[in-house]
Amino acid sequence: MKQTINDLIAQALHELEQASQIPSELGSNIQVTSSKDPSQGDYASNIALMLAKPAGMPPRDLAQLIADRIAAADSIDRIEVAGPGFINFFVASNTSQSVINSILEQAENFGRSSLGQGNRIQVEFVSANPTGPLHVGHGRGAAYGATLANLLGFVGYEVQREYYVNDAGRQMHIIGTSTWLRYLELCGEDIVFPSNGYQGDYVWDIAATLHRENGERFRRPAAQVFADVGEDAPAGDKEKHIDHLIANAHGLLGEDDYRIVFDLALNTLVDVIRNDLHAFGVDFDRWFSERSLSDEGLIEQAITRLQDNGHVYEQGGALWFRSTEFGDEKDRVVRRDNGQTTYFASDIAYHMDKFDRGFAKVINIWGADHHGYIARVKASLSALGYNADDLEIQLVQFANLFENGAKISMSTRSGEFVTLRQLREDVGLDAARYFYVMRKAEQHMDFDLDLAREQSSDNPVYYLQYAHARICSVRRQCAEKGLEIATQQINLSRLDNVHEQALTKHLSLFPEQVESAARRREPHLVVNYLRELANHFHSWYNAHQFIVDDIELRDARITLAVAIGQVLRNGFALMGVSAPEKM
């Protein structure tokens, strides 16, 4: 419809130019928007306001000139000039009602588009270190990423969902060693657990598995384990303390046995995360291992490529990437003076690999605390010869969590955190998913856990689901009363009250809202849309009876209700929320 109006305006402008009533080549960027207020028509264009100055005419006069030129069209009832010079279009009711037939015909495909043209796009999200179960802080990225991926698929992209598993590096050695120390305690060794170790109960669980499956095979005397490790905090350096423990674990266990302990911790935690996410309705196509980058020589390959392109230099025994050449604020080390490559080097290799896999677009969803990292990753892509604009980074702000009126901090290390699983069990999957995506991702957000728990029946998601359940209920009523609802030859012109007009108008906006949400990477727009749809529906429901004696009217109203139910379901599917028939 927007396009139709756009074309009508373009044609009118063209004719006016031909007739020399306005100067030519005004550079018309025609904008057509849907109106909020019904008195301002269904659609409006500000074209006259835009062109008033270059045309040297008062906006209202120009608007009238254009409006008079616009050819009559079946789909347009009337055109008005209003306000400072807007042109308002009133769509003919039979045209706006035709959307109902489109919805019923296209069913679960209503709203799909070919915007993505089948291009491959990757969405990488969550990617939390596998050092413990996911907590509520990870939920926002999970829900946002999953919904965005669904949205992109819906508008015609071929989407790949990926989780980057940080299975290399110091944090993983700390979790591995923490597991081993708990295991030694189970063996009866006298262990003083390091302050910098992972202290959550889940570490005990992994240690118990290790003990159950391997007996005392990995047992070593505590005296040897703590030989030469130095003081722990507060008297000593907790970082050095844990690093020495890791080194001792390597030495005492030997590389092969160390790896068994390490991998058990890693695999168990990745499984926990995978299961938690699955239960949260979030599944990935690929779990990409950071360790595989070094195993397959990709890190060396990336560094070599940077060297070949002349973007690397040596200083202080380390190898530096000259990222400042591409806008970063300082150069970055890729290989330390001890010969080890940095985490950043892995990330360069990882992103190189992403682009070598042929994605037209790569979207990374990162916590807002990683914003300082964007410049260097983009710099590395440019240096490798890729178009850095093809990497898009969406930042998700943290949610401040409140419990008992106080802000609570999340620490995987100390084991003090509310898990994503607990949240889901407390408030339910639908409420949790809805809560996370109802707000714009870059907006800071406060999350009151008590409120979420206690008032879970007040959660706004039920408002939407209730609309769907009511529609299903009406259909059940019809069936119980033995009323046949016609599926063809519905006289939709009977839908003539203000509620029905608002509903058909709103339904027709779904496809463009979905496209806009996908293009802007803002799933919350879909949530807003659905809320408005439910609002219109509830108002209508309270104002009018559906099951009436007038068969033609009854058929028309129930057909509209069915169409609303379909659009709600399509929206729910994108959000990962269920569409209950009863509540």
Partner RNA sequence: GCGCUCGUAGCUCAGUUGGAUAGAGUGUUGGCCUCCGAAGCCAAAGGUCGUGGGUUCGACUCCCGCCGAGCGCGCCA
Q: Which CB, 52 or 225, lies closer to RNA?
A: 52
Q: Which CB, 21 or 40, lies closer to RNA?
A: 40
Q: Is 444 in the site for RNA (CB under 7 A)?
A: yes
φ, ψ of residue 341 in degrees (nearest 5) = -80, 155
Residue 174 CB partners (closer than 8 Å, separation 6+): 131, 196, 197, 198, 242, 246
Q: What is the rounded CA–CA span in Å between residue 79 and residue 89?
A: 5
Using CB atoms within 10 A of its CB, is residue 105 exposed (0-12), middle (13-18) or buried (19+)? Answer: exposed
Give residues 180-219 in contact with RNA (rule: CB under 7 A): none
Choose, by CB under 7 A, the member of 338, 387, 404, 489 that binds RNA. Answer: 338
| Contact indicator for 342, 334 with CB cutoff of 8 Å | yes
Q: How many residues does the chain have?
A: 583
Report in angstroms how near the CB of residue 131 gets to RNA at its nearest. 8
Count of Cβ atoms closer than 10 Å to residue 25 Cβ: 7
Choose, by CB under 7 A, the member of 538, 553, 573, 578 that binds RNA. Answer: 538
Give residues 71-100 in contact with RNA (rule: CB under 7 A): 82-84, 86, 88
| Contact indicator for 312, 335 with CB cutoff of 8 Å | no
Choose, by CB under 7 A, the member of 373, 410, 491, 521 that binds RNA. Answer: 373
Number of residues that bind RNA (CB under 7 A): 92
Give residues 499-518 in contact with RNA (rule: CB under 7 A): 516
Choose, by CB under 7 A, the member of 46, 179, 501, 566 that binds RNA. Answer: 46
Choose, by CB under 7 A, the member of 115, 466, 486, 552 that binds RNA. Answer: 466
The owner of tokens 């990374």 is: 364
Q: What is the rounded CA–CA span in Å between residue 112 and residue 89?
A: 26
Give the range of 136-144, 222-230, 252-260, 327-335 binding RNA by CB under 7 A: 327-335
Q: What is the rounded CA–CA span in Å between residue 260 and residue 211?
A: 12
Q: What is the rounded CA–CA span in Å between residue 345 and residue 427?
A: 41
Report in angstroms how near the CB of residue 201 gets to RNA at its nearest. 22
Q: Following DSSP, what letter does each residue of 431-488 receive, concatenated?
A: HHHHHHHSS-TTS-EEEEHHHHHHTGGG-HHHHHHHHHHHHHHHHHHHHHTTPPPPSS
Choose, by CB under 7 A, the member of 462, 494, 518, 565 that binds RNA. Answer: 462
Q: Which CB, 129 or 292, lies closer to RNA?
A: 129
Choose, by CB under 7 A, the member of 104, 233, 333, 483 that binds RNA. Answer: 333
Report in angstroms how near the CB of residue 460 gets to RNA at its nearest. 5
Cis peptide before 59 (omega within 30 of 0): no
Whose CA is closest to 213, among 255, 260, 175, 249? Answer: 260
- Tell me which DSSP letter residue 188 carries: T
| Contact indicator for 242, 192 with CB cutoff of 8 Å | no
Q: Is 497 in the site for RNA (CB under 7 A)?
A: no
Give residues 234-293 in contact with RNA (rule: CB under 7 A): none
Choose, by CB under 7 A, the member of 284, 350, 546, 572 that binds RNA. Answer: 546
Choose, by CB under 7 A, the member of 59, 139, 176, 281 that binds RNA. Answer: 59
Residue 311 CB partners (closer than 8 Å, separation 6+): 321, 322, 325, 383
Give residues 515-534 in contact with RNA (rule: CB under 7 A): 516, 520, 522, 524-525, 528, 531
Q: Is 202 helix (H, G, I), strand (E, B) or coil?
A: helix
Report in angstroms how near the CB of residue 217 gets to RNA at its nearest. 28
Please, which residues bridge with residue 45 across strands?
32, 87
Count of Cβ atoms closer than 10 Å to residue 79 Cβ: 20
Report in angstroms how near the CB of residue 36 gets to RNA at its nearest. 6
Choose, by CB under 7 A, the member of 193, 270, 541, 553 that binds RNA. Answer: 541
| Contact indicator for 123, 143 with CB cutoff of 8 Å | no
Give residues 395-434 in contact with RNA (rule: CB under 7 A): 395, 397-398
Q: Is 213 helix (H, G, I), strand (E, B) or coil?
A: helix
Q: Name the amino acid, one letter, at 516.
A: S
- Tell me which DSSP letter residue 36 carries: S
Q: Which CB, 158 or 532, lies closer to RNA?
A: 532
Choose, by CB under 7 A, the member of 3, 20, 39, 489 that binds RNA. Answer: 39
Give the range of 202-210, 265-273, 324-332, 410-418 binding RNA by CB under 7 A: 324-332
Report in angstroms how near the CB of residue 173 gets to RNA at its nearest. 9
User: Listing from the earlier edge strand, what are the strands of the sheet with 399-403?
Assistant: 406-408, 399-403, 445-448
Q: Name the amino acid, one letter, at 83.
A: G
Give residues 148-167 in contact with RNA (rule: CB under 7 A): 166
Choose, by CB under 7 A, the member of 361, 460, 521, 578 that binds RNA. Answer: 460
Q: Is 454 in the site for RNA (CB under 7 A)?
A: no
Number of helical H runs and strand E runs in the chain = 21, 15
Q: Which CB, 2 or 220, lies closer to RNA?
A: 2
Give the range of 28-36, 191-199, 250-258, 351-359 binding RNA by CB under 7 A: 28-36
| Contact indicator for 353, 296 with CB cutoff of 8 Å | no
x/- binding map, residues 353-372, to RNA, per CB under 7 A? ---------------xxxxx
Give the range of 70-78, 224-232, 314-322, 563-571 binding RNA by CB under 7 A: 314-322
Structure tokens at 21: 């009533």
Q: Which CB, 191 or 556, lies closer to RNA?
A: 556
